[in-house]
Amino acid sequence: MNNEEFSLEDLKEALFRKGKYGLLAFTITIILAVFYIVFKQPVYESETRVRLSGASSVTEMVLAGVTTPWNDIPTQLELIKSKIILKKVVDQLNLRFEPIDKKFYNYLRIDTLAISDSAPSGIYTIKLLDSGFVILDQKGAKILEGQYGVISSSNCMTLKVNPVSPKAYGKTLKFAIKPINITIKNLYRNIKVSQEGKSFVAVIKARAKDPVLAKEIAERVAQGYYEFTLEDARFQASSLRLFLEEQITKIEQELTDYEKDLAEIKNKLGTYNFIALENISESLKDIFAKLNDLEFEKTKTIIEKSQVEREISIIKDEIQGKGYFKEYAKIATSLETGGDPRILSLQNKLYELELKKASLLEKYNSENPEIRAIENQINEIKTSLSKTQQEVVEQSIPSTSDPVFQQLIQQLIKNQVELVTLSAKSAAIDSALRVFEGKISTLPENALMYSKIKRKIQALSGIYNLLLEKLEQTKIEEASKISDVRIVDYAMIPTAPVLPKKVQTIFISIILGSLLGLFLTLSLYYIDDSVKFSTEVETILGKPCVGKIPPFSNHDGGKYSTLIIHKNPLSPEAEAFKKLRFNVDILTKGFPKIIAVTSIIENEGKSTIAANLALAYSLAGYRTLVIDGDLRKPSLHKIFEVPNEHGFTELVTKSILKPYPSAQQNLFVLPAGENSLNVLKILDAFDLKKIRELLTENFDVVILDTPPVLPVAEVNTLADFAGHMLLVVRADYTPKRLLIEFASSLPENIQLVGFVLNFYKRAERHYYKYYKYYHHESKDENNSINKLLKKLRIFKEG
């Protein structure tokens, strides 16, 4: 590059020199895009719209004056894609089932299919016999056998099939049952749920390779969401109703038993003692009243505790019910948090506060300031318990983003905290009961038993009435529970695929291919260590460029095809050699002259340059001799088509100069000669000065084609013999590092005239920079050339 900063000219050069690789990258990108469009199986998308759960509640809140109602939309959007809903879709559409044979449905029609969660994944075989069908697993074991048109069941599946035609009999077909977790994950990736604007409407988009299946998936997901919200709305009310019915039945039985026990006690006491027990002192009446109240609270607490325990059990059963997810099965066994020391400490504090509260309630009512302060402390401890429970659960279970599972965990934590609170309250009531029972311990045993049974009956009767009232309320609430989810738009069968997107794919591939091609072009351009510009060589060598030779073909098979000046004297390439001769004349003043032409490495075109330069001198009227000094790999005899019987070796060893005349007037050729390799070893021993005089006496110009500089040692000897050295550098080929090595090792006694940039494909902006290097003339290019021509005429006239 000419400048350190990247310029437009640099970009042009990069595209010109390395653009073919960028074009290749661009072409490959386009081809891959076309292959993708052609071979990508079409994917269809269907969508449906549903009103989200909670929309009606938010409307009521807004009407009530709540300006910022709680936004539950993100949770609802996640619920739509929750695993519990997707599992139902997988089961309903039998997405685990996949025929392997392409003609599966050409022979068999499936009327009913249900695959159980326990069915192992793998490849199965169904044999269609005359009397029925048999299904075998991968090991060949029979898992199901049945008749056509009849529902058949096993532990793995329930199936009803019918052959399509008589040709189906005797066929063996294969199908696969995919792993349920992978099937659900694949379904999750093909479903997109988003909020439509700022409304409470969700857009459900489902993709599938079959347009009908895409429609069914979208509809099933929407329906599954509706059913889930309906079940969720009715769950608490229905579970509470069942619990209340069980408790009422249980209390009725207990009341019957206690009534029998009370009748027996009355008989044992007799009428007199019974009347005396009923007319007890006022102090004992107060004690019995307190005992009745405590017994009522204890019974109520026990029932509430049973209800919470039932809810905890139901939640754990729900989690375990999702056992087809391995992490859930593990989670269900690790949710007990009672052994944590932080929770035990909070439980003890809660028990102490409940005990203190029960003690104060013996003297004061619930509005007492001290009792209210204790209740506030109890609420604070319950909040701390909830946070601690959350931390313990998060540490003991793997993380999951399933909103249904998160909701279950929150309910579980809430119930566990409530269970701890009720346990502490029950323990405190038991302690208070023991205190009051101690105050009446002096009464007869039958009297104590009578008072205890009576307390039980009174407490159970009060609880019974409360439960009956609550049961009626619960039944009304359960009946009124409905889901506010509504399917706004039903899914339609798509008529056109959404993938592949042909226009978009081509457009993106064009942009990507262009960027990739440009990146590859610039990368190759920058990492390329070869010479690109003449200015790079000038900087390294400190010498001017005396010529830029464009590439030309010499493989057409014609005579003297390498000699472009002879072959096509009016071509730009021929003109380039004429300019080269002109510039060399200026820089090597005087005649006769010997010029050694060399290069850094092989295949840089030095022999072609030497031959055409000699031809240019001969055309200018100079008696010219071109010598093949490349004794290791001689080539000039092939270029000029002369014998290689005697030549430079005879000149060096015997001082015999017998050049061959060429087809061009004034041009003679001296090939390498025979046994040239032996001469290399003793080249320094010969009188090269005498040979030089012999050459200059007979010729005006001698062009000596020498071996490459690296790694041949005799080049320096030949260059010193010649007096002038001309270096050939091939553009996009010669490494800069070798040029630097050459410049640092060039002996001082060798006069390097300049260099020729061979195979140069583009003209540089400073084509005549070497003129400025020597003459420091005007920057105007035309003035520089005119002044050079004037100096040349003066030199010739002198």
- Residue 496 in any domain: the answer is no
Cβ contact 537:739 at 8 Å: yes
Q: Which long-range contacts (CB under 8 A, 24 or more apart) does 75-78 make?
A: 75/403, 76/52, 76/202, 77/52, 77/193, 77/194, 77/195, 77/202, 78/401, 78/403
Q: In whole angstroms, what is the distance from residue 341 CA to residue 469 CA?
A: 41
What is the C-alpha separation between 319 and 333, in angstroms, rounded?
A: 10
Amino acid identity at 352:
E
Both 119 and 217 in a single domain?
yes
The last residue of a domain, from among 226, 245, 266? 226
Q: Are residues 642 and 774 in the same domain?
A: yes
Cβ count near 137 (within 10 Å): 17
Q: With b meaning 16 or more CB within 10 Å and e meaning fewer, what string describes 599-609?
A: bbbeebbbbbb
Co-location of 63 and 100 in the same domain:
yes
Asked whether residue 337 is domain-assigned, the answer is: yes
Q: Output the six-digit token pair for 75.
A: 């949770």
Cα 446 to Cα 409: distance, rounded to the nearest angstrom: 50
- For β-strands 97-99 and 752-758, DSSP reports them as unpaired
**pLDDT at residue 779, rounded to an integer:** 40
Question: What separation in angstroms does the CA of 324 have from each of 338, 409, 554, 578?
Answer: 27, 18, 76, 87
Give the C-alpha separation, 37 to 785, whole Å: 60
Exposed (0-12), middle (13-18) or buried (19+): which is 229, by Cβ within 10 Å?
buried
- Three-state SS for 397-440 is CCCCCCHHHHHHHHHHHHHHHHHHHHHHHHHHHHHHHHHHHHHC
The backbone torsions φ and ψ at residue 712, rounded to the nearest 5 degrees and listed phi first, read -75, 135
pLDDT digits 0-9 by tens, 423-437: 777 777 777 777 777
SS (H, E, C) 35-69: HHHHHCCCEEEEEEEEECCCHHHHHHHHHCCCCCC
b/e 450-469 (16+ beta carbons within 10 angstroms → b):
bbbbbbbbbbbebbbeebee
Look up the domain containing 184 and give its range. 48-226
Q: Do residues 303 and 274 both lie within one domain? A: yes
CA dihedral 550, 555, 559, 564 (to 10 degrees): 0
Question: By the 8 A CB rule, do 746 and 752 touch?
Answer: yes
SS3 for 551-583 is: CCCCCCCCCCCCCHHHHCCCCHHHHHHHHHHHH
Q: What is the dihedral of CA 442, 447, 451, 452, to 10 degrees?
A: 80
Are residue 19 and residue 122 in the same domain, yes or no? Answer: no
Q: Is residue 595 part of a domain?
A: yes
Q: Are 318 and 408 in contact (CB under 8 A)?
A: yes
List of the chain residues with pLDDT < 70: 1-6, 55-71, 236, 269-288, 317-340, 361-362, 392-408, 439, 441-447, 553-561, 675-686, 711-713, 762-798
What is the tally of structural domains in the chain?
A: 4
Question: Does any domain span residue 517?
Answer: yes
Amino acid at 554: N
CA distances 557 to 305, 540, 611, 792, Å, are 107, 38, 17, 38
Q: Are residues 691 and 756 in the same domain?
A: yes
Is 2 inside any structural domain? no
Residues 690 and 723 both lie in one domain: yes
Q: Are 531 and 734 in contact (CB under 8 A)?
A: yes
Q: 321 in a domain, yes or no?
A: yes
Q: State the pairing for strand pair 122-128/133-136.
A: antiparallel
d(CA 708, CA 598): 6
Distance CA 40, CA 290 (A): 82
> For position 768, what pLDDT does the model report?
39
- What CATH number is attached to the domain comprising 585? 3.40.50.300
| pLDDT of amino acid 180 | 92
Q: Are residues 261 and 367 in the same domain?
A: yes
Cβ atoms of residues 398 and 331 within 8 Å: yes
Within-domain flag for 212: yes
Q: Verify that 219 and 241 share a domain, yes or no.
A: no
Residues 97 and 130 in one domain: yes
DSSP 191-228: EEEEE-TTSSEEEEEEEESSHHHHHHHHHHHHHHHHHH
Report how many helices (DSSP H) and strands (DSSP E) the chain contains, helices first: 26, 20
Strand partners, 127: 134, 172
Residue 87 tokens, joined: 């599992």
The residue out of 204, 226, 248 marking a domain boundary is 226
Q: At what angle do helices 781-797 and 572-587 cross, to 10 degrees?
A: 60
Does 604 share its domain with 742?
Answer: yes
So what's the pLDDT on residue 767?
Answer: 38
Whether residues 319 and 397 share a domain: the answer is: yes
Query: What pLDDT score does 406 carry?
Result: 67
* DSSP per-residue string spanning 612-666: HHHHHHHHTT--EEEEE---SS--HHHHHT---SSSHHHHHHH----PEE-SSTT
Residue 661 backbone phi and psi in degrees, to 5: -70, 145
Q: Sign of the C-alpha dihedral, residues 225, 230, 233, 238?
A: negative
Instruction: Please check whether residue 497 lies inside any domain of the structure.
Output: no
Cα–Cα distance measured from residue 704 to residue 692, given in angstroms and rounded to the nearest whole number: 12
